[in-house]
A and B are shown apart, each in its own frame.
Chain A
Amino acid sequence: MDVPPVGGRDAAWFETLVGEHATAVHRYLARRVAIDDVEDLTADVLTVAWRRRDEVPEGAELPWLYRTAGFVLANHRRKSRPVLVADVPDDGSGADDDPALHAVRDDQARRALAALSPRDRQIVLLHAWEGLTGDGLAEVLGIGRGGADAALSRARSRLAAAWAAQ
């Protein structure tokens, strides 16, 4: 089958990308979405990577993939699901229906995360679970390096406060 290379990115490039990063993308999604959807969304993210292969930055593929996964995730959440689980109607806090929280086994950790704003929580999880800091975190958040450093520092402080309060 003919696969048109774009900017030198061909099947071999994609093969390598999938081989190196599929697990990371899978885990990112497994932490944040119902298990039924992880497989399909992982494939969606990597498919986007192929279709936009000219945009994927060399040497910073993984943050790009995480960022894309974030968009895919947001899109997915916006769609209503016709079957299976009826979402718990929450009291507006937003914390109750964050699948990432449901998955956290440690009660104290879960409560501390729930106490954070969604933005702080996102940053803490990208840091604690995806191991992102510095440029990588900035890339995923789509902001400048300085902003990312400041945001991470603040999020860590707030987590510490929430943690101590548990």
Chain B
Amino acid sequence: MSTQDPEQPDAQRAVDAVRAADPAAQSTPDPVRLRAALSASTGVPLDVGSPDAAEAEVVDELAVRRARRTPRWIQAAAAVAGVALVGGVGYAVGTQRTAAPQAASDVPAAISLEQQGGSAGDAGSEIAKAPSAAGGQAMSSARDKRAASFFYGGHTVFHAKGLSSATGSQDAWAYDAASVYSAETAARLADALGVKGKPHEDWGWTVGPNDGTAATVSLSPDGTASMSYYDPAKDPWAGCVDKSAPDAPAADSGTGDSGTASMGIGETCATGQAPKDATAKAEAKDVLASLGVDTGSLVLEVQEDGTDLSTTVVAYPVVSGQRTDLPWSVTVVKEGVSSVNGPVAPLVALGSYDVVSPTQAVERLNDPRFGAAGGAIPYAAMREGAATDVASAPSQQPTVPPTIEPGSPIGWPVTDVTITKARLGLANHTEQDGSTALVPSYELTGSDGSVWSVIAVVDDQLDLASR
């Protein structure tokens, strides 16, 4: 279709190469979900399609992630349920590790079953946005409370809309800390990082002084055999703070106070610009490789440190097409790497576990064994547009509330959340004894934009006995 330009055969070759590198050449939308969405947004009653048609159109991923195909049970669910809202095109629920490195923006984040405590990071400020719909005025005070509180006040019920009732299975993984936690491992890590000394037990295997006076490597006896390396000599702030000691007489600097005046004195102060972006990532990858980490399956992100003196690179291992919630973190400064921490324990396959269906997952949110009171947390309100103006509650002088009328119903607001989307993925789960695993879990999204999570493994394969 393109004519050969006789003066620039290179141009055609270049264009052809770009064409061949098309990341979406075979990608197709899920016709059932699309039509359902369009019917809702336009009011036009589109034909949602017959089960045969839905099965015939293969729900495919972007070509660049061919290895992560939606498992057959999701396609079957689409066929059976008609308007299926399970997982879907955007989410990879494969059972094998992705080998190729991915752009951070394309790989879905981990699901979190644990209390976030604001560590949802970017989502911190979005937690517990009030629902835009039902409740209006009657809930205004409750809504303000919700805005400040972490939960939806706990008085929340859920129902599913348009979700599949098909069950399935998903692989789980465990961190095998026991296989690596040892003095030898600590010695190997220290060696790779240039930290001298013999490993000794000090809240884990430790090489180095562990009091911040010199470089230290430590390996913790926790569920992921997490390691930590820190070199105060390379920390832009550590050395400087130490040097702002009384031995720098105030009269000398003429400023009359300690602290910043001594910045120039400390010889161990790291100064100068840290490597950024691709250079920082490369350095991070190098140091992680030297520690024996499989860097091929990592997704790297550079975090805003808010300073030129250091750059933090966060590296997420990818499992089943999803970033895990236990990344490596490397801080890079001009003089090299000032800190590293991350999970040393390798992941071992636990095999396939049966999972409940998305509708059952929503029922679990109403179940005290799993639900909002017992473990389902709204950890993000992620849809733009679903956000309400909770934050814009006007600040006024407080006024005395009106007295409740005799016989009037006592206010007891209950939030009703409609869950319209479900994504099956993996979430971190730590047991009582500290052992840590990646367990199949659902991320459930409400029509109000709230996001909840719940473990997906069927009851039979959970040990529900109280400890």
Residues of A bordering B, CB below 8 Å:
1, 3, 11, 14-15, 18, 22-23, 26-27, 30-31, 34-40, 42-43, 46-47, 50-51, 79, 81-91, 96, 99-100, 102-106, 108-110, 112-113, 124-125, 127-129, 131, 133, 156-157, 159-160, 162-164
Contact = CB atoms under 8 A, between A and B. Distances in A.
27 contacts: A3-B44, A22-B29, A27-B24, A35-B106, A39-B34, A39-B88, A39-B89, A40-B37, A46-B38, A47-B42, A50-B42, A86-B302, A89-B304, A105-B21, A106-B18, A106-B21, A109-B21, A112-B14, A124-B15, A128-B19, A128-B22, A157-B11, A160-B10, A160-B11, A162-B14, A163-B17, A164-B10
Contact of B30 (A39, A88, A160): A39
Interface string B1-35: 11001001011111111111111110111110111
Given A22-B29, A103-B106, A106-B17, A11 B89 contact: no
Nearest to A107: B21
Given A82-B122, A84-B122, A47 B62 contact: no
Nearest to A153: B5
B126 interface: yes
B449 to A, nearest CB: 10
B102 to A, nearest CB: 8
B328 to A, nearest CB: 15
B15 A18 contact: no
B38 A79 contact: no
B298 to A, nearest CB: 14
A126 to B, nearest CB: 11
A27 B18 contact: no
Contacts of A113: 18
Given A22-B31, A39-B33, A47 B38 contact: yes
Q: How large is the interface on B (under 10, 10 to 19, 20 to 34, 35 or more residues)?
A: 35 or more
B29 A85 contact: no
Interface of B: 1-2, 5, 8, 10-25, 27-31, 33-35, 37-38, 41-47, 61-64, 88-91, 103-106, 108-109, 120-123, 125-126, 276-278, 301-304, 380-382, 384, 387
Would you call the interface of chain A mostly helix, strand, loop, or mixed? helix
Nearest to B23: A103
Given A30-B24, A131-B1, A163-B14, A82 B38 contact: no
Contacts of B33: 39
B126 A105 contact: no
A27 B27 contact: yes
Given A1-B43, A128-B15, 11 more contacts: A14-B44, A26-B29, A30-B27, A31-B22, A35-B62, A38-B89, A84-B108, A86-B302, A88-B301, A157-B11, A159-B14
Contacts of B64: 103, 105
Contact of B27 (A26, A84, A102, A164): A26
B106 A39 contact: no
B29 to A, nearest CB: 4
5 tightest Cβ-Cβ pairs between the two chains A and B: A102-B103, A103-B23, A30-B24, A163-B14, A106-B21
A137 B365 CA distance: 50
Contacts of B43: 1, 3
B173 to A, nearest CB: 22
Nearest to B40: A43
A40 B23 CA distance: 19
A85 B12 CA distance: 36
Nearest to A31: B24
Contact of B106 (A15, A83, A102): A102
Contacts of B1: 131, 133
Q: Which of B18, B125, B387 has the most CB of A within 10 A?
A: B18
